[in-house]
Chain A
Amino acid sequence: MKRRRFLQSAMALPLLPAPFAFAQRQVREAPVLLLIELTGGNDSLNTVVPLDQLDVYQALRPRLALSEEQRLSLDSHFALHQALKPLLPLWRGGEMTLVHGLGYPQPNRSHFRAIEIWDTASSSNEYLDQGWLAGPARSITRADIDAIVIGRNTAPVSGGGSRVFGIDSLEGFLMQSGKIIGIGSETDNAALRRVVDAQYSIEAGNRLLNAVQTRAKNAHAGYPQGSFGRQLADASRIIRADLGVPVLKLALGSFDTHRNQRTQHARLLTQFAQGIAALRSELVASGHWRSVLVMTYSEFGRRAAENGSGGTDHGTAATHFVFGGKIRGGHLGRHPDLTTLQDLDMQYSTDFRQLYQTVLNDWWQRPDLRIPGGDWSTLGLIS
């Protein structure tokens, strides 16, 4: 009973108290990281094709290799999967960076373990207790939560007492929060009540998401159909609401294309590109694009050679994307040499933890926040 009344009265508030308004401009300029997990292990070799190694590429993938018509050249060295066409304007505008050969020593090819490594920035043989962003988000946030995760997998931001809000979608949460709050207060199942309370952190979440409702309307058409498009639209609203939450995370998948990769991969990449392009235009219009950094990651890349089922198996190093209004654009790192594979897999050239440290040092200007495992030198990502 108590909570339902709380929610209702919160929604009745039309105006924000005055001190909030002052903070808003500063909050708008507070840099946000939007992390996009490509779940299942994206085949980056067919996402960003190394044109210098075309012969080897085609020999490794007689069926799956992208033909010239299926590629879009970025320059003389690399081409994109044609489904990524909506990203070309970002490339040309210097708002897209490709980081090649991202990986780490002794790579793990199990979904379960590999994603843990990327989420906690651990070494291959160590186990860490918190996500790489848990501490930083807590330190940087100007809100009373540290991170918002839309969709699955809160691991990069959870642990060490970090306050994470996880939802499936804004609309879903706001629609269901009534039901969930109702369950929470009315059920006589004490165990269920405790679990719901703990899992939804209802009060903080409600405060925040109500602020989103009042401050940022759903504006842009142009997001692709489907769950990822909705997640991006929600992320955009959260960003435009200037909540001061420094980390948002979404997930797109599954990229675990062991079979019949062609269709599935194209479908996902289309959603990805359309989504990013729509997000960009909405955030440019609102003035937020320069304070947003979008970064993809995945548990691993995939095998250089195709398998016998029209797909690819788990691999190692991969190219990932970074987008934003304040990045240098272009290429970073070195694409693996397809003629010097190790155990049939591409060898990494840039440790992913360098990318992470770059985000801490150069995006948030916090070189005091350290990625575990070494003194990671940074990449020239931010302009």
Chain B
Amino acid sequence: MRVVMLPAILSLLVLCGWGSPPQALALDFADSRHLLLRAGFGPDAHWVAVLASLNREQAVDTLLKTPSEPLSFPACAQERGVPFSVLREWSQEQRSAYRKQQRACGAVLKGWYLQRLVDSHSPLHERLALFWHNHFTSSLRKVVDPALMADQHRLLFDHAAGNFAELLQAVIHDPAMLRYLDNINNRKAKPNENLARELLELFTLGEGNYNESDIREAARALTGLSIDPATGQTRFFPARHDAGEKTLFGKKGRFDASQLLEQILQQQAAADFITRKLWLHFVSEPDDRQIRELSRRFHEDWDIAELVRSILLSEPFWRDQGRMIKSPVALLVGNRRLLDLTSGNPKAETRELRRLGQDLFDPPNVKGWAVDEWIAPDPMLVRVGLSERLVRGYSDEAEPAQLDFICRQHSPELFSALAPLVDISRDEDCQQRLEKVVSDPAWQLK
């Protein structure tokens, strides 16, 4: 009897998916939501439909490969900044007025970025660009020229899912970065260690993987890399460069900026650092074994897309539902994308983002946004309030197709990473459910 039954049982089990690798199975709604919350800005009608019939691998690949719209910055950020050599000749009033104009353009740039995220067809790419934006930090406040910040953003965007070695070379030679970390003042006679220190501590190796001597030597290697006062673009000044022999990580050579970066990238610690940071961007807790494995491969090819793909296909990622907190940008952009409220008030919303601790193009310091401060009683009120305001009058004013998606095909609470804590009684209408869902603690999670 038993011998006959066994194949039948096995067949049944195979039919139920047991024994197939999880990747082969089509995503269920919860998985799809999880992937969109972590790898994008949250579920929306379009992407829910796209992912519905895909399995994990296909879904991740689709997200990775969907092309983005070309970057088209607001006009004021495309105008070349007035070069310092010209500004020097202006009167105080003229300079003041110009600065004011630049600040206004900065505000426009922030609003533009927010709207771009709402409209984007390629949320994973945008998310990666935002990640690098907060990794290779610079700020409008210090850099001042919105065109330089726009240029830096283009660079980060173009390399976001590309080759980390190329990204690093490009960013360290970027004028906004050179200005932000004072490398324009770093010269042989009077070295300035700011860029060198942050490069090692925050951008590549992390504390404990270099010593003070490495910083000093790195600063020497970076001397002379500055900005041309006439064009505002990067320029190397050989006269200011310390071409002498340096000792970096135990190795001797007359390293210049590019060679410095090559030396840094030789260190396994660099791959470890970036891999771990990217891992923790997508998963709430580190998995040391997997990170080590991924980092080894990353060190060989520096392929960001491949690394991200591996993270997003890892088991820890898929088990991690609802265990991370939405960033202020993800909360706001996610709400608007889900509810298809594509036109908002960028000016007011960027102010709100600042209140919530995520000022686009303006991190408080080189470490980036203070993520630990995003959740506290005061910002919570703003976070809940912003979602509540967005859904106000929704069921009355939303497009019928959109309401159908939120209320009939699905139900508001299904878009939450975790079931709401507060009871959603069965007989409340969709508008009431929506209001309760977005005010619930669970809505803050992804």
Contact = CB atoms under 8 A, between A and B. Distances in A.
Interface in B401-425: 418, 421-423
Contacts of A111: 389, 392-393, 397
A119 B39 CA distance: 35
A189 B382 contact: no
A63 interface: no
A164 B284 contact: no
A6 interface: no
Nearest to B444: A195
Contacts of B344: 112
Given A111-B393, A254-B396, A158 B382 contact: yes
Contact of A112 (B325, B389, B422): B389
A192 B441 contact: yes
B381 interface: yes
A192 B355 contact: no
A195 B380 contact: yes
A180 B421 CA distance: 8
A168 B388 contact: no
A267 interface: no
Interface stretch (B151-159, B257-265, B371-379): B371-379
Contact of A199 (B388, B396, B441): B441
A161 B376 CA distance: 11
A129 B375 contact: no
Nearest to A165: B377
Nearest to A201: B377
Interface stretch (A64-72, A92-100, A147-155, A279-287): A147-155
A152 B381 contact: no
B389 A129 contact: no
B392 A196 contact: no
Contacts of B351: 127, 129
B390 interface: yes
Contacts of A198: 375-377, 379-380
Given A112-B389, A191-B284, A196 B382 contact: no
A191 B382 CA distance: 18
A192 B390 CA distance: 23
Interface in A206-231: none
Given A179-B421, A196-B421, A191 B376 contact: no
A200 B351 CA distance: 25
B384 interface: yes
Interface in B329-381: 344-345, 347-348, 351, 355, 375-381
Interface string A160-178: 0101101010001000100
B89 to A, nearest CB: 37
A191 B324 contact: yes
B435 A152 contact: yes
Interface in B284-304: 284
Contacts of B422: 168, 172, 176
Contacts, number: 102
Contacts of B345: 112-113
Contacts of B271: none
B418 A152 contact: no
B381 A158 contact: yes
B380 A112 contact: no
Given A127-B351, A189-B323, A198-B375, A112 B385 contact: no
B388 A152 contact: yes
Interface in B203-242: none
A48 interface: no
Given A152-B435, A176-B421, A254-B396, A195 B385 contact: no
B439 to A, nearest CB: 7
A158 B396 CA distance: 27
Contacts of B62: none
Interface residues of B, number: 40
A189 B392 contact: no
Interface residues of A, number: 39
Given A152-B435, A158-B385, A192 B418 contact: yes
Q: Which of B322, B355, B435 has the most CB of A within 10 A?
A: B435
Given A152-B439, A191-B445, A196-B441, A116 B389 contact: yes
Contacts of A199: 377, 380, 384, 441, 444
A109 B378 CA distance: 28
A189 B322 contact: yes
B396 A258 contact: yes
A194 interface: yes
Q: Which of B322, B378, B380, B418 has the most CB of A within 10 A?
A: B380
A40 interface: yes
Contacts of A155: 385, 389
Contacts of B396: 40, 254, 256, 258
B431 interface: yes
A69 to B, nearest CB: 29
Contacts of B376: 198
Contacts of A153: 385, 388-389
A49 B91 CA distance: 62
A183 interface: yes
A82 interface: no
A39 B393 CA distance: 9
B73 to A, nearest CB: 24
B130 interface: no
Contacts of B436: 168
A330 to B, nearest CB: 33
Contacts of B378: 158-159, 161
Nearest to A112: B389
Nearest to A180: B421
Contacts of B379: 198
A133 interface: no
Nearest to B428: A227
B442 interface: yes
B393 A254 contact: yes
Contacts of B423: 172, 176
Nearest to A176: B422
Given A112-B345, A199-B377, 5 more contacts: A113-B345, A159-B382, A195-B444, A195-B445, A254-B393
6 smallest A-B Cβ distances: which pairs? Answer: A158-B381, A111-B393, A198-B380, A111-B392, A195-B441, A195-B444
Interface of A: 39-40, 111-113, 115-116, 127, 129, 152-155, 158-159, 161, 163-164, 166, 168, 172, 176, 179-180, 183, 189-192, 194-196, 198-201, 254, 256, 258
15 contacts: A111-B393, A112-B389, A116-B389, A129-B355, A154-B385, A163-B377, A176-B421, A180-B421, A189-B418, A191-B324, A195-B441, A198-B379, A199-B377, A199-B444, A258-B396
